Chains A and B, each alone.
Chain A
């Protein structure tokens, strides 16, 4: 398990794919839960770009374009300021000192939430609809005369 399964791979050999495949096959036989077929695994590995073969100084450099960043960030910041500034100013205007803010918040919350007239109206409306839809003429809507004629 120690040395047989895990051999180091020399990058200079451009990746010994057979070695890798053997390694995965061995792991799969151990774990019995890898279902990737051999050929799929091999083709995937072949399709992978081998960055290890390119020296780091030869790789293309990603340049940060600060004017582009600014072009996105500044209008976003302005927009957010425009949206939230009135809210902030309003909150500052009505914000109470700490010593009284808690009781006031409790008063307001309770006065908004306890008397839920809209919920009571919904309850009344549902009952009224059910009542109004009841057919009080239902006894006439049956062929009650059939037995007589």
Chain B
């Protein structure tokens, strides 16, 4: 008797499970969503709005991350530059010490000190100029990226407005005698148009040219600073030579 009860319970439980499947299952492949567009539009509207809000949050996060990533790179480059400068300073000090061992007269030692001072001054001046060039470069880059972010923000605001406008139109169309299929097609078309406009706006932005131009100008400034540095070193060398002749 107990066995029969148990078997019956399992059988009915399975039957109940199978019979409830179609209720929760997704609409069939051939299901026409147009038919429920107006009746369930509030839910559809809420879903779309929620997805837009979700993407807006991601966008804001990406925008902030981009600036923080850039600042991290700057810190990394600055550390590398500082390391190279320290390396150069150490080598300079070592070689000046080596030079002093070659000096045989007081005049020669004084000339080496003067040479060291001239070279150190020229080096400091070059570094100062490089720092100024890099500062200007980064200011320009920040502005370019901020401009692009602002344009992106504006494009997204426009996108949202276009979506809202398309949704408002659906509400009005649902009250009229326009066919559900046409309403759905119009909505899809409006959404696609909003997306295409956003994509075109983003594609029209060209940060590469701005950055490349800034890089080129900065390099030209660096070349000038380097040539001045080379000239200073040559002058210092001529002065040093006099003491050793």
Contacts and interface: CB of A to CB of B under 8 A. Distances in A.
B188 A116 contact: no
A117 B202 contact: no
A143 B192 contact: yes
Contacts of B81: 115, 117, 120
B152 A117 contact: no
Interface residues of A, number: 46
Contacts of A136: 59, 62-63, 66, 149, 152
B181 interface: no
Contacts of B130: 115, 117
Interface in B31-73: 33, 37, 44, 47-48, 51-52, 55, 58-59, 62-63, 66, 69-70, 73
B144 A132 contact: yes
Interface in A89-110: 93-97, 99-100, 103-104, 106-108, 110
B168 to A, nearest CB: 15
Contacts of B126: 115
B215 A103 contact: no
Interface stretch (B7-15, B17-25, B89-97): B89-97
Counting contact residues on chain B (CB < 8 A from A), the size range is 35 or more
A71 B50 CA distance: 90
Interface in B179-210: 184, 187-188, 191-192, 195, 198-199, 202, 207-208
A43 to B, nearest CB: 63
A124 B73 contact: yes
Given A104-B99, A131-B69, A137-B152, A96 B44 contact: no
B188 A132 contact: no
Question: Which residue among A99, A103, A118, A124 has the maximum number of chain B CB atoms within 10 Å of its CB?
Answer: A124
Interface of B: 33, 37, 44, 47-48, 51-52, 55, 58-59, 62-63, 66, 69-70, 73-74, 77, 80-81, 84-85, 87-88, 91-92, 95-96, 98-99, 102, 115, 119, 123, 126-127, 130, 134, 137, 141, 144-145, 148-149, 152, 155-156, 159, 163, 184, 187-188, 191-192, 195, 198-199, 202, 207-208, 211-212, 214-215, 218-219, 222, 226, 229-230, 233-234, 237-238, 240-241, 244-245
17 contacts: A97-B244, A100-B244, A107-B91, A110-B88, A111-B88, A121-B215, A128-B70, A129-B212, A132-B211, A139-B55, A139-B58, A140-B52, A141-B202, A143-B195, A145-B163, A148-B44, A148-B51
